[in-house]
Chains A and B, each alone.
Chain A
Amino acid sequence: MNDPRGLPTDAMDESGGPGFSIGRRKLLTYAVSAPVMTIAAGFGVNLAIPSSAVAAPMPLMPADSVDYYDVGDSLVQVGAPTMPLVKLSVGTDGKVTLEMPRLEQGQGIATALGMMIAEEMDVPLSDVIVHSADAQPELRYNQITGGSSSIRCFDPVLPVMAAAARARLVAYAAQQWGLAPSSLRVEAGVVIAPDGRSATYGSLTVGAATLPLPSVQPKDPSQYKVIGHFTGRLDARDIVTGRKKFTMDLAVPNAKPTMLRMPSQIRGQVIGVNNLSTVKAMPGVIAVVVVPPGGSIVARQVGVAVMAETFGQAWDACRALDITWGDGTNQGQSNATIFAALKAANPPLAAPPLGALMVDGEFEFPPATACPLEVECAIVDARADRAEIWAGMQTPIVALQATAADLGLPEDSVQAHVIPSGGAFGRRLFWDPVQVAAYVSKATGRVCKLMYHRSDDIRHTRLRPPQVHNVRATLLGGSVVGYEQHIAAIRLDARHGYGEKGSAQTGALPEGTPQTLANLGYEQFFFKTMVASPYNYGFSTKVLTPVTFDWNTVSYRSVHIQPARLVEEIITDEIATAMGIDPVAFRLEYLRLPRARAVLQRVAGAAQWGKAMPAGFAQGVGVHQESRAFTACIVELDARDPKQAKVVRATIAIDLGKPINPSGIEQQCHGGLAEAISLVLNAGLTIKDGLPQEGSYGQYHWARMIDFPKSVEVIIMPNVGDPVAGMGEPGMSAPSGAIANAYARATGIKPRKFPLNAQAPFEATPPGQLPAPPL
C-alpha cells in the first residue's frame, strides 16, 4: 500500500527516521496544543524582547548595540506572529508529536525541543517525536533555520504550548471523573486521581481536543527534571543502527540517480556537449540534460546532468562527457587578485591622535567551504500539474516558492519535505540542488534523485566570503581609547531573506544583478546585529565594506563574526603585550560585562593559566559574546614546528543563560573548536582562474581525529535565571582567538594570513573534470 505521496509504507515506518515518517503514521491525531496567541500572559511575558537583553553595562561604559538587539532577536520577532500555526499533537497512542518548522542538521534542536515538551507535559522523552515539518508557506518567516536562533525562538513559546496541552488533558480527565483538575497529577503520560483511577494521554486526547484553551504558566526552572540534564539524541539509536534516513536514502519510487558535472570556473557556462550520443549509449544511462542558466530568486547551478540506473553509472557517464565550457564571471581571478581588490576597497583607518601608541595589523582570510559531509542533494518529482521535493533545506518555504516559479506551477501544487541533513552550517540556506533536480525532472519526465560529486560540491560551493581586515587600536595615557576594524569582503549573498519569497525577492531584484540595494541592506543588517565587541575600547567601530563579485557566497556558520572576533582577540593580545599586561588580566580589566569576566575567570582557573610550558608550546586565550552567549577558551598549542602547529588541549567555559541539553551544548562546543582548528590552522580554498583548486577533504583540510585535542573540557555555567542564548555559532570565536594567540606566544610570529600552517601541495583535478574513482 502506498501513501498518497507515492512512498511505500515501508519507507515510512517508525524506523524511517525523524523528519519524514512519523507525522503521518497515525491518521488520527488530535491537536491539543493551545494556539499560543490566546495565552496572552504567558506569551507576552516570555517573549518580551527587552527581557532577553543582557544586563546594562556599568555606568560610563559604552554599550554595544548587539547587547540589546541582535539577529536572533529579529528571528524571534519575525517568527512570533505565526507560532500559533506550529502543530503539537497527542496521538491516540499517547505519542506527542511536534512538527518542528526547522531543519535538524545535527545541531540537536529536535532533542532540545523534545526535552522542553517532555518537561512540561510529564511524558517520557521516548514518547516525544520531533520531526521537521514540510514547508508551510503560511508560517511566513518562521521556517528558517539559521542565526543560532532555533532554541531562542521556541523557548518562549513551546513550554507554553506543552503546558497548555497538559492542562487540557488533565482537565478532560477531571471532567470525566468529576474531580477538580488541581487534585490530579501526571506521571509518565498518565493522569492519576487521588483514588487511584488513571487514564493515559492517548485515551484522553480526543476528548481533550474539545475543551477550551486554558491559561497556563510553564514550570519554574527549579522544578526541571529534564531540562538541564545530559540527554542523548532522539535519533541516536537510528544513527548507530544505520536506520536514520537522509535524502539520498529515501525510497521514493522510480527516483533515478543523477549527477551534475559542473563548469571549469565558478558560474561558468556550457557551450556544448561534444559526445552526447556516445554518453547516452553508456550502460545504465537514462538521460543527459544540459542545465542552462536561469532560476527564480537566485541563479541556478549550470552544468550537464546525467541520469542513470545507479550513481556509479551516472558518475562514469559524467566523467566521460566531453564538454566545451565557457568562462565564468570570475575568469582570471585568484586569491592574490581577490585580496588586492579587497585591500583597494577597504576605506583607510582614521589617523591617530598625536603621541598615541598604535597596535595595528592587516589580516587575510581566504574563502572557506562549509562542506557538510552529506553533499548537496535533492529529490524532485516534477509533473505537469504538481511537484514534490525532498531535501535538507534551511529555507524550505522560499525553496518551494522558487521551485513553483521555475516550474510554472501554482505554489499550492508543490510540496516540500524537509529531510534531516548531514550537516548544513549555513550551506543549505540556498536550495541549488532542488533547482537543478526540478529542472532535470521536468526535462526528463522522471523523478530526479540528484547528488553533487564531492569535488564539484567543494569547487562550486557557496563560499564563506574571502576577506581582508585592517585594524588599528589607539592607546593613550595608559589605556585603550579607540579601536577601528575595517573589513572588506566579497559581498554576502543573503537572498534567502527570512526564508520566504517576500523577503527573498526584494533582495533578488533586479534579476541577475550580483549586488542589490536590498541584499546590501540584509548584509549590513546581519553584520550590525551579529558582530559585537566584548571590550570597552573607547571609540570602537567595525565597518563592513562588501565588494561585488558575481560569486555564490553564503552565511557560513558565524559568517562575519568568527573572522572579525578572531582579529579583535589577536589585537587584544597585542595591546596587552604593548602595555606589558598579562592577556587574561588585561581582558578582565577591559571586558564590559560581568558574565564575560566570569567565564574567563572560570576557564583561567580550570586551564591553569600561566603555568610553565615546554619550549615551542604555549597557552592562548580568547573571549567571546554572541547570540546572548558568553564564552572563553584557553588552548595549549604545540608549535615546535610553526608550519604544523597543533592544539593539544582546550578548556572552554560557556554561559548560555538557560542550558537545555548539556550533551548537545558540549557537542556544539566541540564543533566550534574543530571549526577554529580548521579555519585558523589548516583549511582555506585556493582560487586559480576563477575556480577553487581543492576538491576533497584530502586537499581542503577540515579537522580529523588526529587534529582534535585529546584533552577537551567544556564547562557549562549554571542557570541563574538569564534568558536562553543561541548555540551553534557562538562556539567558534573564543577557540579561534585562543589558537591564534597561542600561536603568536609559541612562535613569536604575528598571525596575519590564514590558515597559519603550511599547506601541502597537491595535484588538482583539471578544471571542469571529475576525478576517477580509485577502483
Chain B
Amino acid sequence: MPTYSFKVNGKAVKVTAPAGMALLWVLRDKLGITGPKYGCGMNVCKACTCLVNGSAVTTCSTTVSSVQGAEVTTIEGLANGDTLHPVQQAWLDLDVAQCGFCQAGQIMAAVDLLSRTRTPTDADIDAIENVCRCATYGRIRAAIRAAAEKMP
C-alpha cells in the first residue's frame, strides 16, 4: 500500500492507505480525528466537510491520494489555542448547535464561504447544502452574518 504525506491541522502526517480510500476514513480510522462525521458517504449531507488548502471539500468524496502534500484543516484545527475562530465564537454566542452532529461540517462550510466573501448574500448562504436534521438553519444564517463582521 502506498504512503501519503500531508499536513493535518498544521502537523505533518504520514499514512499508509489504499490510494482510493476516502480522506474521511483516513482522518477518522487511521489518524483518530473524529470531528468530521459520516452522514451519507455520497457527497449529499456534507457532514464530513473539511478544508483542503483552505477550500471546503467533502472528505467522504475526496481520496487520500489527492491530498498528498496538501494542508488539511478539520474542526479540531480551527481555533488558535484557546482563541476560537470568529465563526466558532459566533456559533457559541448565538447558541447555534442542537445535537451537534452536523455542526463541524456547517462551521467548515461557513469558514469556506467567509474566506471567499466578507459580505455573503442570502443566496450565498442558501447555497450551503449541509443537512441539519435538528434544523438550526435560522441560527446558522445569523451566525454567519455575525461572524462576517468579525473576520480578521
Contact = CB atoms under 8 A, between A and B. Distances in A.
The answer to whether A and B assemble together is yes
Q: Which of B24, B30, B39, B104 has the largest count of A CB atoms less than 10 A from its CB?
A: B39
User: Chain B interface: which size bin?
Assistant: 35 or more
Contact of B131 (A453, A702, A771): A702
A667 to B, nearest CB: 6
Contacts of A241: 75-76, 78-79, 84, 88
B98 interface: yes
A177 B122 CA distance: 62
B150 interface: no
Interface string B36-79: 01111111110100000000000011110000000000111011
Interface in A39-56: none
Contacts of B22: 312, 773, 775
B140 A310 contact: no
Contacts of B14: none
A145 interface: no
B22 to A, nearest CB: 5
A360 to B, nearest CB: 33
Interface in B78-116: 78-79, 84, 88, 91-92, 95, 97-104, 107
Interface string B121-152: 01001111111111111111100000000000
Contacts of B75: 240-242
A373 interface: yes
B68 to A, nearest CB: 15
Contact of A233 (B38, B60, B97): B97
A374 B42 contact: no
B104 A242 contact: yes
B34 interface: yes
B32 interface: yes
A705 B129 contact: yes
Q: Which of A231, A245, A667 has the largest count of B CB atoms less than 10 A from its CB?
A: A667
Interface stretch (A103-111, A133-141, A219-227): A103-111
Given A454-B42, A774-B42, A710 B135 contact: no
Given A236-B91, A241-B75, A696-B42, A311 B101 contact: no
Contacts of A423: 99, 101, 133-134
Given A248-B38, A704-B131, A108 B126 contact: no
Given A373-B101, A708-B137, A712-B138, A242 B95 contact: no
A107 B21 CA distance: 35
Contacts of B25: 310-313
A283 B129 contact: no
B34 A773 contact: no
A696 B44 contact: yes
Nearest to A770: B41
Contact of A373 (B76, B88, B102, B107): B102
A374 B63 contact: no
B88 A704 contact: no
A773 B140 contact: no
B134 to A, nearest CB: 5
Contacts of A375: 38-39
A539 interface: no
Contact of A454 (B35, B41, B63, B139): B41
B99 A454 contact: no
A703 interface: yes
Contact of B129 (A239, A372, A663, A704): A704
Contacts of B35: 242-243
B98 to A, nearest CB: 4
B133 A312 contact: no
A265 interface: no
A421 interface: yes
Given A248-B34, A697-B45, A705 B137 contact: yes
Given A248-B38, A373-B45, A451-B38, A671 B98 contact: yes
A530 B78 CA distance: 45
A251 B42 contact: no
Contacts of A420: 99
A242 B74 contact: yes
A522 interface: no
A673 B99 contact: no
Contact of A710 (B24, B38, B122, B127): B122
B134 A311 contact: no
Given A230-B95, A371-B133, A373-B132, A235 B100 contact: yes
B95 A773 contact: no
Contacts of A663: 95
A309 B29 CA distance: 8
Contacts of A236: 91-92, 95, 97
B34 A454 contact: no
A263 to B, nearest CB: 20
Contacts of A315: 41
A401 B46 CA distance: 36
A252 to B, nearest CB: 12
Interface string B17-31: 010111011101110
24 contacts: A108-B98, A232-B95, A236-B91, A236-B97, A239-B97, A240-B75, A242-B75, A243-B35, A249-B34, A283-B18, A310-B21, A310-B29, A312-B22, A313-B18, A374-B101, A667-B95, A670-B137, A671-B135, A674-B135, A697-B44, A697-B45, A705-B125, A705-B140, A773-B42
A-B pairs with the 3 shortest C-beta distances?
A: A106-B99, A422-B101, A242-B35
Given A311-B38, A313-B25, A706-B129, 9 more contacts: A106-B98, A251-B32, A309-B29, A311-B25, A373-B39, A423-B101, A451-B38, A454-B39, A696-B40
